[in-house]
Amino acid sequence: MKDVKSYFNLVGNRLGKAFSIREFDTEDELEFWSLSAEHMSRAKPPSFQDIVQWIDILYKAPVHIVYKKEGDELILFKRFVNVENLVGKKKTANYTDVEKEVINNFEQQVQNLQQKRQWYPDLTEHGISSTSIGNCEHIPLFDENRDVWGIYIVGPDSKCPEVVVPRLSIVGRLLSIWLIKIESEEEGQRNKYRDKMEGIVSELGSGALNTEALSRFLLRFLMNGFNCGSGAVLEVQNGSPSLVYSENIEDNQLGLIASELVEISKTSSQQKLHGEIDIKEVGQINYFSFIGKDSEGWIILPGKLANPEYDAELVQELITNQLASLLDFRNENNTFTQLLIDSYHGLLRSVEKSREKTEYHTPRMIAFVERFAMIFGLDESETEIIKTTAKLHDIGYIGSISVEKNISIGSELAHPLTGYKLIDQLPIHDDIKQGVLTHQEWVNGEGSPRNLTGENISWTGKVIGIFEFIVEFIESNKDDESKSADQWIDELSQNIIERADLQFDMVLVPTVIELIKMIGWELCCQLGTED
């Protein structure tokens, strides 16, 4: 398939012809300004997605980006990809293989946008900006003192309707008001998010294994996945039910639920793993049974359950099995630690498998770093450390899901911090913890989440960072037959070399390039897919 930009130009020409039939007219303009008035009339600012939908009335663009000015630099604040505008189809439509590849390639380019850009005085005026995804329009944003706050970038190859251009200063003022409010609110939300994560994971895996904290974490993963606002974990001890953890369920209701479930278990010859019961004073109750060597009980979720995006049956099995293991081994922390890591990994894999592009992401990472360890000369202990780091590097995503069902770009960029908190107090090597924390840092300081440089980045974080780039390159290009295997290896090698001493540690680059050339493109694409 041709380069994504070439394909996008083709789509752009097609859309351009369509818009020439009915250009931006009075009705569109009325809709645009009416929606702005509606947003302004509300006490709460519109969300970034609401803002994108508003600006999209003007541009019909696939990408919206916001950079915030800090000193002489622009720092990435928000980004949004509108797939419908990229391929000209609704999200509910079935995409062709070519369209899927275009989407994957384009999303990778957006994902690799510079975290920091140089500020230029010319950006104080509406105009065209050159970006890695093409030429885009930018709208300057100013605070209440008329100081530059940032820029709103939209594109590529999309133009504001001529009739609106004279009033773009008004558009810019509205964008500034809303985005500044969003920044202020998100700062508060980040603090709350941090506090909530501390509450959930502060005692996970500590010396005295905290059964309640772990039960809460696993329960909330199910609650948010099924869009359920309450739940509980009940354990049967010596024939009587006892509460492990509950959230938003009254004590009297828990008593009724527990009594009903105990009665069912007594009268049933074989306990159902999953079922529904109606209790007059409570309503519909969904229960998931867990049975361990020395424990048994139920996860309780009231009401009608929504369909989660991930594999519900797999996740239910993982979580019920983990709860049973938790209660069996609550006093055996070292043994349980490995089970916990495997469960984190399993939950992450359920999320990865929900999307074709990332179906084998973590298994690919493990396979690559294992081979790297052999040719780089890591000893057995170091090899296990880097393999475990690869296994856990993205678990921050499942931590975010356990706190909030809609992961914002802020929590996405901060997932190394969340992942670190999930394992910080587990009895595992510190290099593993630091690798999870630093794998998105760049050696030049332009990475995330803490803008670390050079020697401040763990060796495990540097290794995971370079192989994550490789795996994402493979995920975006594995089905593209427009180039030969050697050409793909050459392009990947060149991309790595160009990022040496910027994103990647130069010490690693020769060995990594030697490895991918030795393996070859076809095997690179196959690594990890046997999972």
**pLDDT for residue 86 is more than 90:** no
73: tokens are: 């630099």
182: tokens are: 């969003």
Reported as a pLDDT band with limits 50, 70 and 90, residue 170 is very high
335-342, long-range: CB < 8 A, 24+ apart: 336/205, 336/209, 337/205, 337/426, 337/427, 337/428, 340/204, 340/205, 340/214, 340/426, 341/388, 341/391, 341/392, 341/423, 341/426, 341/428
Rounded Cα gap, residues 191 and 115, in angstroms: 22
**pLDDT for residue 410 is more than 50:** no
Rounded Cα gap, residues 369 and 375, in angstroms: 10
pTM of the model: 0.54
**pLDDT for residue 22 is more than 60:** no
Rounded Cα gap, residues 456 and 442, in angstroms: 10
Which stretch of 73-82, 273-282, 284-293, 408-417 has the lowest confidence by average pLDDT? 408-417
**pLDDT for residue 204 is more than 70:** no
pLDDT confidence of residue 85: 83
For CA atoms 468, 471, 475, 480, give the dihedral sign: positive
For residue 69, the number of C-alpha atoms closer than 13 Å in the C-beta half-sphere is 18
**pLDDT for residue 344 is more than 70:** yes
Going from the C-alpha of 247 to that of each of 215, 244, 257, 260, 521, the distances in angstroms are 11, 11, 14, 19, 50
pLDDT top residue among 333 and 33: 33
Q: Which domains does the chain have, with CATH numbers?
A: 4-186 (3.30.450), 203-331 (3.30.450.40), 332-531 (1.10.3210.10)
Reported as a pLDDT band with limits 50, 70 and 90, residue 8 is very low
Q: What angle is formed at CA 448 by the lines to CA 445 and CA 452, rounded to 5 degrees? A: 35
**pLDDT for residue 13 is more than 80:** no
pLDDT confidence of residue 264: 82
pLDDT confidence of residue 390: 96
**pLDDT for residue 406 is more than 50:** no
What H or E segment, with its residue span, contains residue 271?
none
pLDDT confidence of residue 408: 40
Query: 151: which residues sit within 8 A by CB, 6+ positions away?
Result: 66, 67, 69, 74, 123, 129, 138, 139, 140, 141
Mapped onto helix, strand or coil, the DSSP state of residue 152 is strand
Reported as a pLDDT band with limits 50, 70 and 90, residue 176 is very high
pLDDT digits (tens, 9 = 90+) for 285-302: 999 988 888 888 899 999
pLDDT confidence of residue 401: 61
Q: What is the mean pLDDT of residues 377-394?
A: 94
Q: What is the mean pLDDT of residues 53-75?
A: 91
pLDDT confidence of residue 148: 94
Q: What is the mean pLDDT of residues 491-517?
A: 94
Reported as a pLDDT band with limits 50, 70 and 90, residue 315 is confident
pLDDT confidence of residue 1: 42
The position carrying tokens 């922390």 is 333
**pLDDT for residue 201 is more than 80:** no
Which stretch of 15-19, 28-32, 323-327 has the lowest confidence by average pLDDT? 15-19
pLDDT top residue among 204 and 42: 42
